[in-house]
Amino acid sequence: MNILKSLFGKPGEVIGDPERLRDRLFGAVARDDPNDLAALCRANRDAIRRAYAVWLKPKPEFIGSDPRRVDWYGQNLLAIGRCFAQVLDDRSLLQQLQRPAEQGPFGAWDSEFRESAEMMRAHQYEDALTRLSDLRSKIRSFVGFDAKRWEGVVAGHIGSCLMQTLRADEALACFEESIKLCEEAQDEDGVRAELSNRIEALRWLDRHREAAPWAAKLAGLYESSGNTVEAARYLARARIMAAGEPLLRTTVAMDGRVYEEDETPIPLAENVQILLERNRITLERCTAHLNEGGKHVSKDRYDQALTSFARAMQFDPYEPRPHYESAVIHSWHGRYEQAIRSYQETERLAPGWFLVRSELWLVRQVAAGRFRGEVPRMLSLLEHQPPEQAAQIAQAMADRTPDLPQAWLMLGEALQRIGRRADAASAYRKGLTCAEDPDVRTRLLTYLGASEHPPRRAELEQAAALNGHLVSGAVARLLLRSGKSV
């Protein structure tokens, strides 16, 4: 509707009854008649100012409970407010629409929302969902920017509760509604937050290509707000999603930013970290039980830990960590078939997750009688020893079991940390003579190639080509891209 055309419109009718005046104004909006709307606003300027606050709180019997009618009502009031601002140079009606919540009826509901948020923090999502749904019903009987903003926030929280209770389809619908409400309320922060939620819901549903354009849109919103770091990150993620996001991939953290491996700036900074990124988020209840299980492990309460990890699996069927942690416990206690099944499930959910490939290879060898049963736990304990002591223990393991590639790998790592680079390289080479699985072989090749100055291209190229240890493979590729290898 072009309001500017109404500047020279016909004189409007003076209407004394506020409800009749409201209906006439709404009729002009419905007909998309800017001349009549402007004329009515001019002729009834003072009456509209007096009545507008009352119109913001419509009688329930007039507006009903249909969300579409609530939306229709709010759009009418917004059109009248815009007419006042553009034709009469009077923003007082828009200011009433935009008035902070504590000055309107929503302030009384703030404690109800806070209680719901506290329930969510305590992972009581079902109770929070009931409370938030009731709150949303109350808010929907009001109009204005504040009502839209509040409803958008509440709808987003409802979506989060649904997401955390494995109802991602329903959550997606809530996030879509929340985005629309936030856009209507001109809540830019809310739009960005709910777009992110929408993307994660689509990823959870294995609809990654559908998520790609929304990630690109979110990148544009961050760019327009001046946040170029987040803009670049979401643009890169959009590219990955559009191509088909893998279950697990490596990314690079450097100088406070996260990059996809192929976009990492060269030369590399000193503080480079290789990250593992899954194609789904981890749900909160799962994380809570994982943390609980970790505490049990630290106190040698392994049966309780397994119970916690089993609960974590129930609350997030796509998360690899509870299967991985369970496999480690089973391998330590000689339950090799259970360990193998748990490692296999880890690999299915997240191919290349941490040390899953080498540990699966090792437990199969132990189950076949090739290595002693205490080897998996000894290797785990060795990781936490000071380098001098680790070198002594690893040397003894390597002497006793010369065909155990992990012993040579850990010996080389320990020797390298205490400055014995030539001895470390020798250990890596001995490990390569018996390294059968690609995970340990990738690590040995990367360590050997990187131990020289400049790094050795031959070993790095072999490591980069193997589908073994993901982090070491990424390190090899980055070193090769840096151009400093020979």
What is the pTM assigned to this prediction?
Answer: 0.81
Total domain count for the chain? 1
pLDDT confidence tier of residue 206, bands split at 50, 70 and 90: very high
**Is 258 in a helix, a strand, or coil?**
strand
Print the domain residue range for 14.
3-97
Residue 130 falls inside a structural domain: no
How far apart, in whole angstroms, are the C-alpha atoms of residue 205 and residue 169? 8
- Residue-wise pLDDT tens digits, 241-262: 999 999 999 999 999 899 999 9
- Residue-wise pLDDT tens digits, 50-76: 999 888 877 766 765 555 676 688 888
pLDDT value at 106 more than 60:
no
Nearest to 279 by CA among 215, 220, 342, 374: 215
- Provide the token pair at 172: 């997606």
The whole-number pLDDT of residue 73 equals 82
Residue 79 falls inside a structural domain: yes
Residue 400 falls inside a structural domain: no
The whole-number pLDDT of residue 72 equals 81
Q: Average pLDDT over the chain, rounded to whole?
A: 91
The whole-number pLDDT of residue 11 equals 62
Q: What is the mean pLDDT of residues 79-86?
A: 90
Q: Among 68-82, 91-105, 316-330, 407-421, where is mean pLDDT lowest?
A: 91-105
Residue 273 falls inside a structural domain: no
The identity of residue 104, as a single letter, is G
Residue 154 falls inside a structural domain: no
Bridge partners, residue 251, by sequence: 260, 275
**Is 249 in a helix, a strand, or coil?**
strand
pLDDT > 70: what percent of the chain? Answer: 93
Return the higher-pLDDT residue of 341 and 34: 341
Q: Which residues, 6+ apart, have CB-to-CB distance to 61 below 8 Å? A: none
Residue 51 falls inside a structural domain: yes
Residue 41 falls inside a structural domain: yes
**Is 300 in a helix, a strand, or coil?**
coil
Residue 372 falls inside a structural domain: no
pLDDT value at 2 more than 80:
no
The whole-number pLDDT of residue 108 equals 65
